[in-house]
Structure 1
């Protein structure tokens, strides 16, 4: 693969170039929409992989007799692949272009999914998830940059958030498909395989789409960039020439940037990088990845008493994410990402405080989401109790039922809870978690998911695609994405273990605190980018 592959369709002969010449006055907003839609299929695939995680986890834990650590490994393998590709994604994006990177990522998704379908062991499942993670992460980075660089400035926010809209649709489909195939033999294999059709569709469309005009200019192909811009802007010559001049001027000013300068004070690059890194860190530290990856187990912990009920309830997360993202997509260009981020941070913090308080009052609040792994004798593992293996396919690893034997005071208290009575400080009886409390917990979770979907979910992508100069944008976004996936990986790998140490309620309070930290950070550190070109944003940030 080389950089010429991205433009070969335009350079083969004069007649090919003639085909690309636009007819003056011919609107071609349809081409921008098609290109943005094809790139946004990356969001659909990433969202789908996120959505199927919790449902597939409930199926595979019994089939493969997975321990808590093994479940965390299976969830985290997708994130590990994403982190690995991010470390190499910058050079790929900058050398071969956004479109070629999207093609490569779609191929990785197809290949990894084939491995998953044919898998029969934890090792092969892990490898397949790593490959799929590499594909979805590279495509996510490339898609946002590609959309931002082909879009007119007055529609850039709308089209970039289309990626997030497709992502949440993918999450909804992932939850729904997990539930639909939950009762079928090897249903998890069908669930893994359904991501292949959109990957093949993306490949088939991308081969006919133009590369980013900004990428063409960086490669010295100015005339081809002019042709592409004319196609994208409907042949309005004055608009095309002005935008091309802006791109070339911006690139000339940024041409001296090197990768290491991202960490220097030149043009305030270090400040911009810290802004992007902090945003993605807080995006993960407010808990959203765990809410999705462990949705079904978490719902078990707040009172949904079967796998099927918890999986069905978790599909509501996908629906709410779609509904919450629509206003963000429609209003981002008029309201601006900064306002959405502030409002969303407040709503997330309040809903998490409410969820933590409800969980404290709930009988189902035990020390972890998988405490049933602890069987009567702590010297034995769940898979070797007195020399006899346990059939985990028919047991509930995420059940909120208590272990068979606890010692002393805790055992006595547990027995009283089982009967629905526990004495409080005033001597009044404590009643088991009511149906009202269960549904109140679910509503708090849904409000939290909706607040994230209207703010932190789509708006982080918008801000990150706008704040870096073109000369280092691919590498800068890759660094930010690497931090994003590394944080996600760390949080997801330790979530079950962490809740075992401090309890579900305290985890919710911690996430709430991080939401309010996010609010303060956005108010004081995130620039307003509404209504400005990428070059104008970069010039202003360089002066600060």
Structure 2
């Protein structure tokens, strides 16, 4: 769900008449958070850490596994997409699990899936085992993320709900950073990919052991008709009995309102719900079509294509993506109420488009479009030192066959400032090439990628689901977001499964230009179709959208 696409995804499933993304953190009007609420929120937020970690490690271990298993482009796409496929499956089937067995039991089940899937693809080194294991892990992390956000939102007092749900989002981006970092730490270690995969097991076991002792969510208990048990849990979590009766009545009122709406209403003209649904679907489609999931999943291979000469160097550079995501997410979370999601989306779309145009131009200039993203850059049947392996490149000619240049030839051509298009005068279509220029282009390419990641992290990452939580009425919001989330995962899966194939056919620069075009399409869509919600109540937003045709 990207992917980073999970950011704020389920915070729209709120249990009262306000949304945690849109309310400001006012001074507490009732009891604050007890220690039990804090422990429960931290334990549930480990789901974000695990999901982010699995997202971040993919690109680094891919470089190791494609050489170990001699993976083709299609197999690499399947390996990357298998986690997304598992997430899509659980997105379609997880609702009944959450509703029937509750959030806490769903967290326990998801922990077992993560541990079981990880052990499977570590114990058996084969493409089939890896793919199946990643599907199971994808199911576990997606179910865990949904259950965690629901659980946190339902146990938190209204005045602290936004803060506690944001903890999940922060843990997610920290997990992405850790995934990139651990991939680098084990990049040169024998079977380092197995250690990288295995590091998700400790937080999964920690969450499992803590959740066993946590109470069920009060909202789930009320839905099951166990009102008295829900009252007892609320007293434990609030620390005092004051305000508990009011909160209990709010929960009962919210459940009654949800029961008055049917799923089919989403596709009707009632209150303009069909147009709102199409707005949400279009927004999540553009979120994926701008390329962020592929940039994360294929970060290390992409960096190799723009000039980083070794797997370790490319993986190290990709750790910067995780750091940037953490740093960029913080101001977005703190300023969303003051600036508004629409402004963040506009600024992010412009920055993403410009950075992708720059990246496409840089890859054209450096001729890195001649390199294959999905082929290990090694020379078979030839003994080389580690340095030689890092200096070997594989180029493709116009007939799509490839020739390997030996390190000595590579160094000689680099020293002379020539390349494959050299006409014998020392010049080529891209100009004279030398080590200094190559390093400059490489740095500029990395900066362009980092700007792209930062722009996504302050805009599409957190803001898409802020908008989704605001454009749907309370009674049907959960079901609307579940439909949009399924479209989100399906689009993410489709784009990730075709990224390498498309790159091989049209080249890295053209793919970047395509993503840039989609970023500018996003800008136009946001300006024309997304309502300004800053400083407005959910009731005011809903009243406007009920009258306004958005499609």
Assess same fold via TM > 0.5: yes
| 1:5-54 residue CA offsets vs partner (Å, 9 max, x unmatched) | xxxxxxxxxxxxxxxxxxx9864354443333222211111111111111
Whether 1:68 aligns to 2:73 is yes
Q: Is the 8 A contact 1:61 1:392 kept in 2?
A: no
State the SS of the aligned residue for 1:235.
coil
State the SS of the aligned residue for 1:303.
coil
Whether 1:356 aligns to 2:349 is no
Q: Find the counterpart in structure 1 of residue 164 from structure 2.
A: 159
Structure 2 CA distance for partners of 1:290 and 1:168, relative to 1, 3 Å: same
* Structure 1: segments with no counterpart, 5+ residues: 1-23, 376-381, 383-388
Q: Is the 8 A contact 1:47 1:168 kept in 2?
A: yes
Q: Find the counterpart in structure 2 of residue 265 from structure 1.
A: 269
Q: 2:281 aligns with which of 277, 280, 284?
A: 277
Q: Is the 8 A contact 2:305 2:371 kept in 1?
A: no
Q: Is the 8 A contact 2:378 2:393 kept in 1?
A: no
TM-superposed deviation, 1:221: 3.5
TM-superposed deviation, 1:311: 0.9
| 1:469-526 residue CA offsets vs partner (Å, 9 max, x unmatched) | 5655554333222211111111111111111222211211221222233233334444
Q: Find the counterpart in structure 2 of residue 203 from structure 1.
A: 208
Matches within 5 A, 1:321-470: 321-366=325-370, 368-370=372-374, 401-403=394-396, 415-417=420-422, 421-424=426-429, 429=432, 434-465=438-469, 467-468=471-472
Matches within 5 A, 1:92-241: 92-235=97-240, 237-238=242-243, 240-241=244-245
Q: Is the 8 A contact 1:347 1:448 kept in 2?
A: yes
Structure 2 CA distance for partners of 1:420 and 1:117, relative to 1, 3 Å: farther
C-alpha distance in structure 2 between counterparts of 1:109 and 1:537, whole Å: 39
State the SS of the aligned residue for 1:401.
strand
Q: Is the 8 A contact 2:64 2:187 kept in 1?
A: yes
Whether 1:296 aligns to 2:300 is yes
Q: Is the 8 A contact 2:114 2:204 kept in 1?
A: yes
Q: Is the 8 A contact 2:378 2:389 kept in 1?
A: no
Q: Find the counterpart in structure 1 of residue 22 from structure 2.
A: none
Q: Is the 8 A contact 1:175 1:318 kept in 2?
A: yes
Q: TM-score, normalised by structure 1?
A: 0.81
Q: Is the 8 A contact 1:341 1:522 kept in 2?
A: yes
TM-superposed deviation, 1:115: 0.5
C-alpha distance in structure 1 between counterparts of 2:220 and 2:530, whole Å: 26
Structure 2 CA distance for partners of 1:407 and 1:315, relative to 1, 3 Å: closer
Whether 1:91 aligns to 2:84 is no
TM-superposed deviation, 1:296: 0.7
State the SS of the aligned residue for 1:146.
helix
Q: Is the 8 A contact 1:371 1:400 kept in 2?
A: no
TM-superposed deviation, 1:246: 3.8
Q: Is the 8 A contact 1:368 1:501 kept in 2?
A: no
| 1:81-109 residue CA offsets vs partner (Å, 9 max, x unmatched) | 11111110222223333332222211111
State the SS of the aligned residue for 2:367.
coil
Q: Is the 8 A contact 1:54 1:297 kept in 2?
A: yes
TM-superposed deviation, 1:391: 11
Q: Find the counterpart in structure 2 of residue 483 from structure 1.
A: 487
Please, what is the CA RMSD of the aligned residues?
3.7
Structure 2 CA distance for partners of 1:358 and 1:29, relative to 1, 3 Å: farther
C-alpha distance in structure 1 between counterparts of 2:210 and 2:429, whole Å: 64
C-alpha distance in structure 2 between counterparts of 1:536 and 1:232, whole Å: 32
C-alpha distance in structure 1 between counterparts of 2:34 and 2:164, whole Å: 12
Q: TM-score, normalised by structure 2?
A: 0.80
> Which stretch of structure 1 is more off in the superposition, 75-84 or 351-360?
351-360
TM-superposed deviation, 1:527: 4.9
Q: Is the 8 A contact 2:72 2:374 kept in 1?
A: no
Structure 2 CA distance for partners of 1:66 and 1:435, relative to 1, 3 Å: same
Q: 1:510 aligns with which of 514, 517, 542?
A: 514
TM-superposed deviation, 1:529: 5.9
TM-superposed deviation, 1:57: 0.8
Structure 2 CA distance for partners of 1:113 and 1:224, relative to 1, 3 Å: same
TM-superposed deviation, 1:359: 1.8
State the SS of the aligned residue for 1:209.
coil
Q: Is the 8 A contact 2:83 2:137 kept in 1?
A: yes
TM-superposed deviation, 1:531: 7.2
In the comparison of the two structures, how many residue pairs are matched?
A: 505
Q: Is the 8 A contact 1:250 1:535 kept in 2?
A: no
Structure 2 CA distance for partners of 1:374 and 1:113, relative to 1, 3 Å: closer
Q: Is the 8 A contact 1:364 1:400 kept in 2?
A: no
Structure 2 CA distance for partners of 1:218 and 1:407, relative to 1, 3 Å: closer
Q: Is the 8 A contact 1:162 1:329 kept in 2?
A: no
Q: Is the 8 A contact 1:51 1:171 kept in 2?
A: yes
